[in-house]
Structure 1
Amino acid sequence: MHRSDPMIVLASASPRRRALLAQIGVRYRTVAVNVEERRSLEEAPQDYVARVAADKSRAGLDVCGDGLPVLGADTEVVLDDEVFGKPADFEHARTMLRRLSGRSHRVLSAVSLRHAQRHWLALSESNVAFRDLTDGEIEAYWASGEPVDKAGAYAIQGRGSLFIRRLEGSFSGVMGLPLFETAALLAEVGIASCVLLGAELYSP
């Protein structure tokens, strides 16, 4: 395999997931998938996140065929058993951030890998504690543009880190792709992190 050839297919348009795969030296190509992300009434948050991740990898496989391994992922913020998706507008973001203010919440991040008619799934759970937020901070944060496409209306890797008092769990999982779990799944298909192998990082 030529160094620039992809090892896997990433069924996601997320720049955060692309950056995290590049961080550990995994070569990939991306495909856009259209998966409905709607939680059913009786579905537990962890079941919902796992299902969406599995739906994404299945959709990616349908597009690409059974050649390269296909990776799908989903990350959600959960407070009081309610799943917080991406904010629809400023009012939605403000409501979410006000509810997260001064409290701890869960971040669930599921990873699904499909290859050669086999399927592997892993789930990462982290706990994030926010400090108290003022309305002025919330308004300024929205104006920065960062919360627009983020679950729970914040980005741990960006300015949203200023809100986080404590993290228990996976930083990369809260960011969108838990690398420990992802590496374990990729090992199932014989793919090791190029970082651990001492190889040069590849960034598409």
Structure 2
Amino acid sequence: MKSILLDYELLLGSASPRRHELLYLMNLPYRVVKLHVDESYPPELVRQEIPEYLSRKKALAYFKNLHPNEILITADTIVWHKDHPLEKPRKREEAIEMLRELSCQWHQVYTGVTLSHPKLQTTFSVCTDVFFEQLNDEEIEFYVDDYKPFDKAGSYGMQEWLGIVKVREIKGSYTNVVGLPTAEVYKNLKQFIALIRNLKDEEAE
């Protein structure tokens, strides 16, 4: 699968260990670049508009450094429930309240991904529906205190204890909930590289 990256170096603009692991499992060589981005967004944005906007904002923070042989992946994930986003909790009480809100409820997880090259950029998003079993206070407090999900949208990690024992059903991509919709990334990356090569061939004519 590494052959799809012939002549190109893949960069991952993310500090998320989950995204690092997923990209590694895709068997694609990559290099991590550090980004410093204010993750605020216009208040009128909803659902997939939020992570799409933030993935482009992250790409913009590094765009001027991109070389012609580099492709940058940036991504952002949000949890959406009942017409509002559940972002990363700032403190223990906020995390507990978020998980109480998600108990016995369907919610949506949106990940926006931007692929960037000096001559081309594309953004796409994926949605997964997730349903939690009933979460009692003892389970919620155990999870928050032991796993400290303060770097996770919605206050939980799908691959951690709460996701393993309390998620009853998902509709859509599992890896999207973890932080990167790998099947869609793979498909879009191949298409993106083909477009770059076509542009290169047209310029050479």
TM-score bin, normalised by smaller chain: 0.7 to 0.9
| C-alpha separation in 1, matches of 2:166 and 2:73 | 31
Consecutive unaligned residues of structure 1, counting only runs of 5 or more, are 192-204
1:92-119: CA deviations, max 9, x gaps? 1011000001100000011100113211
Aligned to 1:163: 166
Post-superposition, which runs of at least 4 consecutive aligned residues in structure 1 deviate over 6 A? none
1:100-154: CA deviations, max 9, x gaps? 0110000001110011321111110010001110101111001112412111010
| C-alpha separation in 2, matches of 1:116 and 1:65 | 7
The answer (yes or no) to whether the contact 1:76–1:107 under 8 Å persists in 2 is: yes
2:63 is aligned with 1:72? no
Distance 1:176 1:168, change over 3 A: same
Q: 2:176 aligned to 158, 173, 178, which one?
A: 173
Tell me which amino acid in the other structure corresponds to 2:23: L
Cα distance, 1:62 vs. partner?
2.8
Aligned to 1:89: 91
Tell me which amino acid in the other structure corresponds to 1:141: Y
| C-alpha separation in 2, matches of 1:64 and 1:14 | 21
| C-alpha separation in 2, matches of 1:153 and 1:100 | 10
Cα distance, 1:171 vs. partner?
0.6
Cα distance, 1:43 vs. partner?
1.4
The answer (yes or no) to whether the contact 1:9–1:70 under 8 Å persists in 2 is: yes
Tell me which amino acid in the other structure corresponds to 1:163: K
Q: 2:116 aligned to 114, 117, 120, which one?
A: 114
Aligned to 2:140: 138
* TM-score normalised per structure 1: 0.86
Consecutive unaligned residues of structure 2, counting only runs of 5 or more, are 195-205
The answer (yes or no) to whether the contact 1:12–1:30 under 8 Å persists in 2 is: yes
1:5-25: CA deviations, max 9, x gaps? 983111111111010000011
- For 1:147, what is the secondary structure of its paired residue? coil
* TM-score normalised per structure 2: 0.86
Q: Which structure is higher in RCO with an 8 Å CA cutoff and minimum separation 6?
A: 1
Pairs within 5 Å for 1:11-90: 11-90=13-92
Residues 158-167 or 69-78, more deviating: 158-167
The structure with the largest alpha-carbon Rg is 2
The answer (yes or no) to whether the contact 1:111–1:181 under 8 Å persists in 2 is: no
